[in-house]
Amino acid sequence: MVKKTLIAVAAISLSAMALTACGDDKDSASDSGGGGKITMGFAQVGAESGWRTANTKSIQDSAKDAGIDLKFNDAQGKQENQIQAIRSYIQQKVDVIAFSPVVETGWDAVLQEAKAAGIPVILTDRAVDSKDTSLYKTFLGSDFVVEGEKAGQWLVDNAADSDVNGDGKINVVQLEGTTGAAPAIDRAEGFADKISADPSIEVTASQTGDFTRDGGKQVMESFLQSDDSIDVVYAHNDDMGLGAIEAIEAAGLKPGTDIKIITVDAVHDGMQALADGKINFIVECSPLLGPQLMDLAKKVVAGEEVEPRILTEETTFTQDQAKEALPDRQY
């Protein structure tokens, strides 16, 4: 009877060992405190633009280079998908969670769950609107308000050349990003603040193109059908600006000349359109956040203090500057 009991205990022990070997094995493989491999869960917005595609590649390549095990999810532009992915990462007991929020609000509950599980969170590219800043360790990305200010300041500085219709008024149509998204809110705010210095500049129409080329084209087509006095297009990203170019050309007008175009991002296709004279000015928003993100992940997992706000270094481009930069452009 004793012999049978010992055999049963041994069998149970072997089964438990087998299950551990086939499972997540977080304690042995992902515990950075023991010098093991870090596991990161990353919830991406989607693949709505050339910028986002470059951002995803930067994160994936950088994780591989840093020796970080990356669990990646594409939310397809839906907040509920991101929340589901984050909860999945919590259940899998990853070492760190990073994500680019689809919209600013509605994150407190799931981030509280991550905090309760002891999993640090890093925001990338986009911020969240929460009074509880303890829910995440840091935010890595651009200052979208400043980007909007740069776009608005260029228009103020080039107001004389932007009065295409010659009526003393500069009528601007705005192609907004995804409704509720931080870059859409902030880029509109920064732009509005700067153009307020010149009473001749007015945003006459503003509508979301959802950061997509098709969205930008459709909204621009609608603007052109209802208004024949458009001087300037301000698009919250290059892809919507490129869609606007298609609509403008289809209407028999010359983008960059008959209608001035200002965009944000500076992805390759946007830069090419700028060099070709179809866009007039681009404010850069770098998607190459991967190396910085992996460095931050290692620090927060190790329990090191990091700055709550880490900005990326970015510039602006005129048509001549785009021609110079294009040959060496990484995205």
Cα separation of 156 and 153, whole Å? Answer: 5
pLDDT at 274: 98
pLDDT at 36: 78
Check whether 2 has a pLDDT greater than 60: no
Percent of all residues in the chain with a pLDDT value above 90, rounded to a whole number = 85
Closest to 286 (Cα-Cα) out of 147, 152, 174: 147
- pLDDT confidence of 13, banded at 50, 70, 90? very low
Cα separation of 290 and 296, whole Å? Answer: 10
Q: What is the pLDDT of residues 100-126, one digit of tens each?
A: 999 999 999 999 999 999 999 999 999
- Contacts of residue 59, defined as CB under 8 A and 6 or more positions apart, other chains included, come to 42, 44, 70, 72, 124, 289, 290, 293
Angle between helices 50-66 and 238-250 (to 10 degrees): 150
- pLDDT confidence of 7, banded at 50, 70, 90? very low
Task: Indicate the domain borders of the chain.
Answer: 37-142+287-313, 144-285
- pLDDT confidence of 258, banded at 50, 70, 90? very high
Assign domain 144-285 to its CATH superfamily: Response regulator (3.40.50.2300)
pLDDT at 1: 42
Check whether 306 has a pLDDT greater than 60: yes
pLDDT at 183: 96
Check whether 23 has a pLDDT greater than 70: no
Q: What is the pLDDT of residues 207-240, one digit of tens each?
A: 999 999 999 999 999 999 999 999 999 999 999 9
Check whether 311 has a pLDDT greater than 50: yes
Which stretch of 1-10, 162-171, 177-186 has the lowest confidence by average pLDDT?
Answer: 1-10
Closest to 291 (Cα-Cα) out of 106, 68, 129, 114: 68
By DSSP bridging, strand 121-124 and strand 96-99 are: parallel
Place of tokens 């008024």: 169
Structure token digits, residue 58? 């930067």
Domain 37-142+287-313 carries which CATH code?
Answer: 3.40.50.2300
pLDDT at 28: 33
Q: What is the pLDDT of residues 194-211, one digit of tens each?
A: 999 999 999 999 999 999
Is pLDDT larger for residue 20 or for residue 85?
Answer: 85
Task: Decide if 37-142+287-313 and 144-285 have a common fold.
Answer: yes
Mean local confidence (pLDDT), 23-31: 37
Is pLDDT larger for residue 91 or for residue 2?
Answer: 91
- 3-state SS string for the chain: CHHHHHHHHHHHHHHHHHHHHHCCCHHHHHCHHHCCCCEEEEEECCCCCHHHHHHHHHHHHHHHHHCCEEEEEECCCCHHHHHHHHHHHHHCCCCEEEECCCCCCCCHHHHHHHHHCCCCEEEECCCCCCCCHHHCCEEEECCHHHHHHHHHHHHHHCHHHHCCCCCCCEEEEEEECCCCCHHHHHHHHHHHHHHCCCCCEEEEEEEECCCCHHHHHHHHHHHHHHCCCCCEEEECCHHHHHHHHHHHHHCCCCECCCEEEEEEECCHHHHHHHHCCCCCEEEECCCCCHHHHHHHHHHHHCCCCCCCEEECCCCEECHHHHHHHHHHCCC
Q: Is the pTM of this model over 0.85?
A: no
Cα separation of 123 and 260, whole Å? Answer: 34
pLDDT at 35: 55
Spatial strand order in the sheet of 39-44: 69-74, 39-44, 96-99, 121-124, 138-141, 309-311
pLDDT at 280: 98
pLDDT at 330: 81
Question: In sequence order, what are the beta bridge partners of 202?
Answer: 171
Check whether 14 has a pLDDT greater than 50: no
Q: What is the pLDDT of residues 29-48, one digit of tens each?
A: 344 444 579 999 999 999 99
pLDDT at 25: 37
Check whether 159 has a pLDDT greater than 50: yes
